[in-house]
Amino acid sequence: MTRLMVYGHSDDLIEVREMTDPIKVTRGLEFDIYDTSEEAPAELHFTDGTILKVWYGDGDRGVWRIEIGKQGTAAIVVVPAEDEDGIYTDIAYVTSPDLGPVLCTCEGEVIQA
C-alpha cells in the first residue's frame, strides 16, 4: 500500500511525500509553482486517475488549499488548514496500492519536479 502526503510550503512549493509508516516521511517530489489560484490551480495527476487541485490563497488569507478534482480509486483524506499563522496548508493523504509518480500541470503546462 502506498500513502502519499500532499501539502503546500512557503507560497510557491507543492510537496508530495511518501509515508512509509504513520510517522515517517521519506522520498518525494517538490513542484516549484507560483501564482496559483482557485480559478487557475495546479493539478496533481496520480496513476490511479485521481486529480487534486492545489492553490495558494484563500481570499486575503495566505493558506494553501487542496480540493479533489477527480476521484480515482485511491482513498483520499483532506485535512483543512488551521490559519495562516499556524498550519497554513491543507494536507491531503492519498492511499492506494502501488500508487505511482505524480504529474503536475497548471493551465495546461507541465511543471517539472
pLDDT per residue as tens, the chain (113 positions): 889 999 999 999 999 998 876 666 667 889 999 889 999 999 999 999 999 999 999 888 899 999 999 999 999 999 999 888 889 999 999 999 988 778 899 988 898 87
Task: Say if residues 42 and 54 touch (Cβ distance below 8 Å).
Answer: yes
pTM confidence score: 0.91
Task: Say if residues 98 and 2 touch (Cβ distance below 8 Å).
Answer: yes
Q: Strand pairing of 51-58 and 103-106?
A: unpaired
DSSP state of 89: B
- Report how many helices (DSSP H) and strands (DSSP E) the chain contains, helices first: 0, 10
